[in-house]
Chain A
Amino acid sequence: MAEFANLTLETAGRHVWRVRPAADQLVALARAVKEEGGQLIALWGSDDRPLGAGYGLHAAFMTSLGMLWATVALAVEDPAHADLAAVFPQAGRMQRATHDLLGIRAEGAEDTRKWLRHGAWPANAFPLRKDYAAATVNEPDAYAFVRVEGDGPHEIPVGPIHAGTIEPGHFRFTIIGDRVLRLEERLGYTHKGTEKRFEGMDLATGARLAGRVSGDSHVAYAWAYCMAVEQAVGAEVPERAVWLRALFLEMERVANHLGDLGYLGNDVALAFGFNQFWKWKEDWLRLTARMFGHRYLFDSVVPGGIAVDLADDGYDLNRMTRRLDDEVAQLKRIYDEHATLQDRFANTGIVKPDMAARLGLTGLAGRASAQAWDARMQFPQPPYDRLAVNMATQRKGDVLARAEVRFAEVFESLRLIRDILKHLPGGAVRAELPAVAAVREGLGWVEGWRGEVVVAVRISADGRLDRVHPHDPSWQNWPLLEVGILGNIVPDFPLINKSFNLSYSGQDL
């Protein structure tokens, strides 16, 4: 296109492209991506002053080419960029977070309320600036919720501390009678300064922290981080390590899906479903611990490869996948035939495909609303380029559709695990990283169980981390939960919420 004639695409990894538009080209670029059917995946900022520049605004777009990583240079004084939320609504909260952490403004944005900042640091201080030195404060949050006025509506505040064993967040329901008229989320409660913590860390410790951005997606984050680091420094990862990373990722997907399918049963009072699925999840975790030393594979993915090899031919795992194929099929038959469960699942918490597309619903929940994206299939990183993943999709976008996608993905992951074990190459599982003597950047991208996990990394000339931005798919999906609940009854909220199962820690950072 003529308007982008001055731009060049640099390759920045497999299916990842880097482009550096001028500030006034960013919105046009976003529009071009949108017209082509693409989506905005992530948006973040960086303090580039130590590099002799101002600030940087980064946006990662999913396009037909793969991931397009656009970086715009912003001024030192009052850094600002044109609002992207008008093109991609999912940019809204990411822009607000970028302002809270770096003081980068989205000019013309409709919603400029704070997002990750509550009352722990002052409004005019920005923690991710390199010279941040503000004293901590403890002010009341004083957040301006959107109020529904008039006769009839009733407000129910829930959280931040919830009744179940789940992460903290605040939900403000406005109801009329039993029906939800509006839901507004207030998140950021688990903001613990993760991004700041990365600064100055060595590359190996960074992998451990990346894996703890959202504990249920440990492998996805650790792999995406390592992919970014390896891309940045130009490291070659041994083939066997890459295959085993995929094995770990699929094992993580199976564990999470089994747990969710159990909880979905539990939330419609089918305790039987919970007990059955959690019996198998527990057996799965114990087998994982026996094989690789940790129930959730923590710290098994490291820069340059993996830390723990498969000791045998994986016979026990292979046998377990066959057993689970059978057991999960039996349980699926029960879920399929259970009238109460079907009645509660079907037509509950609907996100229609057109709304999903408009607001950028992604990952597992996106696939349940006809958003047919799965990086393992469309833009496969090794070894997925040799595994031929079958994507699971549904069109209804209700709780039932999200359960169906999980069932299909459990069976597919079990098949992939057997495929990986069958074709697993031999050899080393870890390589030394080449030394770094200049500033390097990289981006990693992994289809975790919840959706795409993206990690962008900048390494300083001294070989330590300068800036790491981990992106969770929950950023895009949380606003769609506000849509899915509309018109439903309040008692169905836990079920709908569980069917999305979004990460708080992953978006709060």
Chain B
Amino acid sequence: MATHLILQKILKTGRLSEPAPAADPAMRTREQELQAEILKVFGQAVAIRCVDAGSCNGCELEIHALNSPQYNIEGLGVKFAASPRHVDVLLVTGPVSRNLETALRRTYDATPEPKWVVAMGDCGCTGGMFGESYASCGKVSNVIPVDVEVPGCPPTPTALLQGILAAVSGGH
């Protein structure tokens, strides 16, 4: 009987969540001027839309890893949403391929203000190994404004979490 086995396993596994890391303000690329009230709201819950703008899928592995029970991101008020219209933060991996340039701009435009953009990974921050070419626009900030850059190839889930928290914690 599967239910019995599942319950047994859940009880045996116990709680796995680990304490969250602190925000890393060093990842901020620009100061956001925010109303204190908005910050207060975002300080408690934030919805994120992932946009793969041409990555090798390495960064996506770590976004998935952030969903593993050890990180408990929903417990921190961070939730991944299915539409840009529902979110506060766009998490963009790159390099931005020219074939996705328009789609990325449209996704940005569809996201309601106020919004923040986190560029993830060496490619998203600088263009990385792919750089700029006939097929690649390079870094994310070549296409849309970026608030926080999280370097790494790929950045660890902890670094990513620090970057997301830096995006939504304003100057605090």
Contacts and interface: CB of A to CB of B under 8 A. Distances in A.
Interface of A: 118-121, 127, 132, 134, 136, 138, 141, 160-161, 163-168, 188-194, 196-197, 208-209, 212-216, 218, 259, 272, 274-276, 278-279, 281-282, 285, 295-296, 298, 330-331, 333-334, 337-339, 503-505, 508
B5 A165 contact: no
A190 B58 CA distance: 13
B1 to A, nearest CB: 7
22 contacts: A127-B135, A161-B51, A161-B52, A161-B100, A166-B60, A167-B55, A167-B60, A189-B100, A192-B95, A194-B130, A196-B133, A197-B129, A212-B58, A214-B57, A215-B55, A215-B60, A279-B13, A279-B16, A282-B65, A330-B9, A337-B1, A338-B6
Given A121-B134, A196-B135, A505 B55 contact: yes
Nearest to A121: B134
Nearest to A188: B99
B154 A296 contact: yes
A504 B67 contact: no
Contacts of A214: 56-57
Identify the interface centre among A164, A278, A298: most chain B CB within 10 Å of its CB. Answer: A278
Contacts of A189: 54, 97, 99-100, 103
A298 B154 CA distance: 9
Contacts of A167: 52, 55, 57, 60
B6 A272 contact: yes
B69 interface: yes
Contact of B130 (A197, A279, A281): A197
A295 B136 contact: no
Interface string B10-28: 1001001000000000000
B100 A215 contact: no
Interface in B68-85: 68-70, 80, 82-83
Nearest to B50: A165
Contact of A215 (B10, B131, B154): B154
Interface residues on B, range: 35 or more
Nearest to A187: B99
B35 to A, nearest CB: 30
Interface of chain A, main secondary structure: loop
Nearest to A262: B68
Contact of B153 (A259, A298, A504, A508): A298
Contact of A337 (B2, B55, B60, B156): B2
A212 B51 contact: no
A339 to B, nearest CB: 7
A337 B5 contact: yes
Query: What 7 A-B pairs come out closest when comparing CB atoms?
Result: A215-B58, A193-B135, A120-B98, A163-B82, A278-B68, A215-B56, A193-B133
B101 A296 contact: no
Nearest to B96: A192
A119 B107 CA distance: 19
B44 interface: no
B102 interface: yes
B161 interface: no
A205 B104 CA distance: 29
Contact of A138 (B16, B62, B98): B98
Contacts of A330: 5, 9
Nearest to A281: B68
A101 to B, nearest CB: 10
